[in-house]
Each structure stands twice: as C-alpha cells, then as structure tokens.
C-alpha cells in the first residue's frame, strides 16, 4: 500500500462516518418533528376541551345573582306576610 491508497482510505472512512452521522441526524429530526406534530394535535384537543368546560360552567357565575334575588324575594314575602298579619 503506497501513500495514495492510505489517503483515500482515510477519505472513505470519513465519508462513511459522515454518512452515519447524517443518517442519525435525519432520523432524530424526523422523530422530533413527529413528536411535535403529536403535541400540536393534543394541544388543540386540550384547548377544545377547555373551551367546552368554560361554556358548560358559565351558568355557575349566575348562581350568586340568583341567590341575591331569592333573598330579596324571601324578605319581601316576609314583609308582606307581616303587613297582612301573618308575620312572626
């Protein structure tokens, strides 16, 4: 083996190593992109579920108003009962 063949052998080894590294990088990038797509889909599903939960719980904000109105009705009914002579 002369000096020229030794130089080419080094180049061949370098090309094989580069090919292996590039292949590994491409595989890892593909896996990362696949996971990112799955995360994006799951994020959309979570957002839709949260929006549905928000819509379903909106009436709960009205409970305090209903309680206030019911208390007013009860007080007015008690006052009317007292005026009509059936009070406590």
**pLDDT, tens only, 11-29:** 899 999 999 999 999 999 9
Using only C-alpha atoms, what is the Rg of the chain?
38
Task: Identify the band that residue 87 occupies on the pLDDT scale cut at 50, 70 and 90.
Answer: low
What is this structure's pTM?
0.57
C-beta separation of 81 from 87 below 8 A: yes
The C-alpha atoms of residue 54 and residue 61 are separated, in whole angstroms, by: 11
Beta-carbon count within 10 A of 69 CB: 10
The C-alpha atoms of residue 37 and residue 49 are separated, in whole angstroms, by: 19
The C-alpha atoms of residue 75 and residue 65 are separated, in whole angstroms, by: 16
């Amino acid at each position: 083996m002369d000096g020229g063949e030794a130089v080419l052998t080094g180049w061949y080894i370098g090309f094989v190593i580069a090919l292996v590294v590039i292949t590994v990088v491409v595989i890892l990038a593909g896996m990362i992109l696949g996971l990112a797509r799955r995360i994006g889909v799951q994020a959309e599903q979570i957002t839709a579920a949260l929006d549905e939960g928000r819509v379903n719980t909106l009436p709960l904000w009205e409970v305090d108003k209903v309680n206030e109105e019911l208390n007013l009705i009860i007080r007015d009914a008690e006052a009317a009962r007292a005026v009509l002579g059936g009070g406590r």
